[in-house]
Amino acid sequence: MSKEFNAFEMAQSQFDAVADKLELDEGIRELLRWPLREFHFLIPVHMDDGTVKVFHGYRVQHNDARGPAKGGIRFHPQETVDTVRALATWMTWKCAVVDIPLGGGKGGVICNPHSLSAREQEQICRGWIRQVARNIGPLQDVPAPDVMTNPQHMVWMLDEYEKMTGAHYPGMITGKPVEVGGSLGRTEATGFGVIYTVREALKRAGVPIKGVRASIQGFGNVAQYAAKLFIEYGGSVVAVSCWDNDDHAAYSFLKPDGIDIDFLLSITDRFGTIDKDKAKAAGYVIADPESWIEQEAEILIPAALENQINGDNVDKIKNTVKMVAEGANGPTTPEADEALKARGIFVIPDFLCNAGGVTCSYFEQVQCNQNFFWPKDEVLKRLDEQMTQAFHAVADLAEETGEYMRDAAYMISIQRVAVACHLRGWA
Ligand code: GLU
Residue 271 has pLDDT above 90, yes or no: no
- How many CB atoms sit inside 10 A of residue 205's CB? 10
Strands 285-287 and 323-325: unpaired
211 C-alpha vs ligand 1 centroid, how far in Å? 31
Mean pLDDT, residues 396-409: 98
* Residue 341 falls in the annotated catalytic set: no
Nearest-CA neighbor of 70 among 114, 112, 19, 105?
Answer: 105
Confidence at residue 1, expressed as pLDDT on a 0 to 100 scale:
43
Instruction: Return d(Cα 329, Cα 116) in angstroms, integer.
Output: 25
Residue 322 has pLDDT above 80, yes or no: yes
Q: How many helices (H) and strands (E) does the chain have?
A: 14, 12
In this chain, the answer to whether the domains covering 37-170 and 187-348 adopt an identical fold is yes
The catalytic residue among 70, 94, 106, 228 is 106
Mean pLDDT, residues 79-103: 98
The structural domains of the chain, with segments of one domain joined by +, span: 37-170, 187-348
**Which is the CATH superfamily of the domain at 37-170?**
Leucine Dehydrogenase, chain A, domain 1 (3.40.50.10860)
Residue of the CA atom closest to atom 8 of ligand 1: 358
Phi, psi of 114 (to 5 degrees): -60, -30
Calculate the average pLDDT of the chain.
97
Confidence at residue 40, expressed as pLDDT on a 0 to 100 scale:
98
Mean pLDDT, residues 111-123: 96
Mean pLDDT, residues 368-384: 97
**What kind of fold does domain 187-348 have according to CATH?**
Rossmann fold (3.40.50)
Residue 2 has pLDDT above 60, yes or no: no
Residue 106 has pLDDT above 50, yes or no: yes
Q: Which of 153, 154, 352, 358 to mutate to test the pocket of ligand 1 (most atoms within 8 A of CB)?
A: 358
343 C-alpha vs ligand 1 centroid, how far in Å? 30
Q: Could you give the count of Cα atoms lying within 13 Å of 278 in the half-sphere of its Cβ?
A: 11
Distant-in-sequence, close-in-space partners of 86: CB < 8 Å, separation ≥ 6: 7, 8, 10, 11, 306, 329, 330
pLDDT band at 245 (very low <50, low <70, confident <90, very high): confident
Residue 129 has pLDDT above 50, yes or no: yes
pLDDT band at 272 (very low <50, low <70, confident <90, very high): confident
pLDDT tens for 325-366 read 999 999 999 999 999 999 999 999 999 999 999 999 999 999
